[in-house]
Structure 1
Amino acid sequence: MKVRVDMSRCQAYGTCADEAPAVFTLDEWGYAQAVDDELPPEQEAAARRAAAACPARAIALQE
């Protein structure tokens, strides 16, 4: 699975990093960044929770 953060939509809520700290980090302004483009299988469920929790719908997951 691949993960991508749409920086034009991210509003720095930080919920993704709360839901999946191994998948997302926050920069110095609080905007999300994926730790890696490719997710290990054990992180997929956390990435899905983070995408669902994002109020700005800035996270895209691709199988």
Structure 2
Amino acid sequence: MASKSPQIRFGDAPLTIEDVVALSQCQAEAVVSDDPAFQARIQKGADFLDRLLREDGVIYGVTTGYG
């Protein structure tokens, strides 16, 4: 039976360089925290970008698929 890759959870703690390397080499699975406070922070950032886009029409330095 194949072993499951370890999970690296975004939002629980800062990422280490080892986490980044493991993710880049497909040795771990990225998972987003289900903590409501973390999800609210992410949503707040998306709402901010949406507001900037509505007001100015252009946002530099953000990928088109941010959401």
Same fold, judged at TM 0.5 (above): no
Which structure: greater helix fraction? Answer: 2
TM-score normalized by structure 1?
Answer: 0.28
Structure with the greater alpha carbon radius of gyration: 2
Return the structure number with greater relative CO, CA threshold 8 A, min gap 6. Answer: 1
TM-score normalized by the length of structure 2: 0.27
